[in-house]
Amino acid sequence: MAYHFIIIDDNKIDLLVAFKAIEMSHIEHGDIHQFQSGTDALAFIKTYKPKQKVIMLVDIQMPVMNGFQFMDEFEALPAKTKKLFHCMFLTSSSNDIDRLRAQKYPSIKSFLNKPFTSEVVAGIIKNLPA
Amino acid sequence: MSNPLKKIRILFVDDEINNLHAFKAAFRFDYDITVAQSASEAETWLEQNEVDLILCDQRMPGKTGVEFFSSILKKHPKPIRILVTGYTDIESVIKAINLGHVFRYINKPWNEAEIRSSIEEAYRYYTQSHQLESKVTELTRAYNALDGFAYSVSHDLKGPLMSIMGAINIVNNSPDKNQKNVSLMLELIEKAAVHLNEFIENMHVYYRNNRGELKIEPVNLEDLKSELLSIHGITCHQQNISLTINCENTTEFFRTDVTKLKVVINNLVSNALKYQRAGEVNKYVDVQMRVIDENLIIHVKDNGMGIPDEYLQNIFELFFRATTEVSGSGFGLYNVKEIVTTLGGKINVESKLNSGSTFTVNLPCK
């Protein structure tokens, strides 16, 4: 099954790195949407009607709306919308407090550390529930 | 409090007027003394005045000394309380001491030497405990700042490194080391390295400003102007932004820490150049510098993206960033504000979203 991807990261470099890593992982994938802010991503998600499941990678430290604030908004969306997404934090933070805080969000399925590589992509796909 | 030239301020409360006179006569040269004839009179006086030490007689009509002390404890916890009493009241004195209402007690009839040594001892305790209190507050604040600092630094230092590692990984996994991928990733690696370097340099400025001593020199505004033009000229040319710099009263004498002043102006100008608005045809940055009444006033004005009202109060905070559109470290304006404060000056900003910002710095001559 092919997945769509949404990547949210304020850093353009990391967006591109993630994009390339997905492309080069040889997994079958659908669209790859990239957003530099949580606000833009939310606006998109609210009208998004994907045919397949979506893997969403969210950076934590971002200006204006950080990853946690983004997930607060996301968790408030209707359950019907939320169940289309597998959400994960993707961060350079190795901070335990961030990790603990991430557990508060039912929609967050994993906590990934950067760098994001093709191996990580393969690992995500392998571990997803069918 | 610890000013050695300042007399210790004492409030003496006793219902017998003769005792008040005797006390005042004995100590008025050494201490700053106020007397009150009842607990209520003392309470009224305390509403308006500050005092280091309170001595109070135990046996008074109305409130006793112990009652008076426990009643003022909440409103005036700072002054040290000494009870003056006879042996017959010993029970209530012990209770008061155990409850922490009274620092010590003095037996009646008192003698000058005993009072004097009690006052000195109490005052030493008073100053020490207050110094300790302000040290604790100071340290707590420093620790909190350090926590935030460590968290953000680990993100801002690690972030670019992780970008670099990610990019290298992509190059390595590229089949046949695909030339297009390689050059694209090299470009990314360079950007991340530049960003990392900028961050480290800003951190250095931050650190230096926190420790360094000031080096005061005369300022030459014309030199400053040509330096600014040579630093920012290329950027302006590349991005088609007009940079104008005007100096007035350049012959007026003005002194400050020139290196720090340059950090301030350079930061403001490079911010103004950085946060431009994409659609604007006539992009400009205008710098005005003039000395008026021994004050250097600097305006840096642009017609860039401006700052949303709700973020105006936060822009000088460490690691605060108001936009995702342009990359930044969250160090710049914090450093600017810290330096301006160190130099004894003020900084203000006026800004309107989508029409531009004006930063105004006012520095006194050192």
Q: What is the CATH number of the domain that holds A84?
A: 3.40.50.2300
Q: What is the pLDDT of residues B88-108, one digit of tens each?
A: 777 878 887 787 778 888 888
Q: How far is B95 from chain A (nearest CA, A)?
A: 47
- A3: closest CA of chain B, how far (Å): 21
Asked if B87 and B35 count as a contact pair (C-beta separation under 8 A), the reply is: no
The 3-state DSSP composition of chain A as helix, strand, coil percent (nearest 5) reads: 40, 25, 35
- Euclidean distance between CA atoms B65 and B85, whole angstroms: 9
Taking the C-alpha atoms of residue B147 and residue B347, their distance in angstroms, rounded to an integer, is 27
Asked whether the whole model's pTM tops 0.80, one would answer no
Distance CA A95, CA A110 (A): 15
Residue with tokens 């080391």: B177
Tell me what pLDDT residue B211 has.
Answer: 66
- Facing residue for B165 by CB, picked from A18, A20, A115: A115
Whether residue B219 contacts residue B262, with contact meaning beta carbons closer than 8 Å, is answered with no
Q: What are B207's two structure tokens?
A: 């650190």
Res B1: pLDDT = 41
Q: How far is A13 from chain B (nearest CA, A)?
A: 6
* Structure confidence at residue B129 as a pLDDT band (50, 70, 90): confident
Mean pLDDT score, B8-24: 93
- ipTM for the predicted complex comes to 0.71
Does B154 sit within 8 Å of A94, measured CB to CB? yes
Q: How confident is the model at residue B42 (pLDDT cuts 50, 70, 90)?
A: very high
- Amino acid A33: pLDDT: 96
| Total domains, chain A | 1
Nearest chain B Cα distance for residue A9, angstroms: 9
Dist CA B210 CA B26 (whole Å): 49
Write the residue in A14, A63, A115 that is nearest to B321 by C-beta: A63
Q: Are B311 and B322 in contact (CB under 8 A)?
A: yes
Structural contact between residues B331 and B202, judged by C-beta atoms closer than 8 angstroms = yes
Q: Using CA coordinates, name the residue in chain B closest to A93.
A: B155
Residue of A nearest to B189 (CA): A13
Contacts of B320 in chain A (CB under 8 A): 63
Residue owning tokens 């968290």: B151
User: Which neighbouring-strand residues pair with B13?
Assistant: B36, B56
How far are the Cα atoms of B54, B70, B79, B124, B133 from residue B2, in angstroms, in the given order? 18, 26, 14, 9, 14
Closest CA to B315 of B365, B361, B271: B271
Q: Could you give the count of Cα atoms lying within 13 Å of B229 in the half-sphere of its Cβ? A: 12
pLDDT tens profile A85-116 = 999 999 887 777 888 899 999 999 899 998 99
Residue of B154, B165, B169 to mutate, interface with A, max A Cβ within 10 Å: B169
Residue B212: per-residue pLDDT = 65
Q: Which amino acid is at B87?
A: Y
Q: Which residues pair with A73 in a beta bridge?
A: none
Domains and CATH numbers, chain B: 9-110 (3.40.50.2300), 140-211 (1.10.287), 216-364 (3.30.565.10)
Q: Report whether pLDDT(A130) > 70.
A: no
E-state strands within chain A: 3-8, 29-35, 54-58, 85-91, 108-113
pLDDT (average), residues B212-235:
87
Please state, in angstroms and rounded to a whole number, the distance separating the CA atoms of residues B349 and A107: 41
Domain coverage including residue A59 = 3-127
Rounded Cα–Cα distance for residues B297 and A66 (Å): 37
Residues whose CB falls within 8 Å of the CB of residue B130, separated by 6 or more in sequence, listed in order: B1, B78
Cβ(B167)–Cβ(B188) below 8 Å: yes
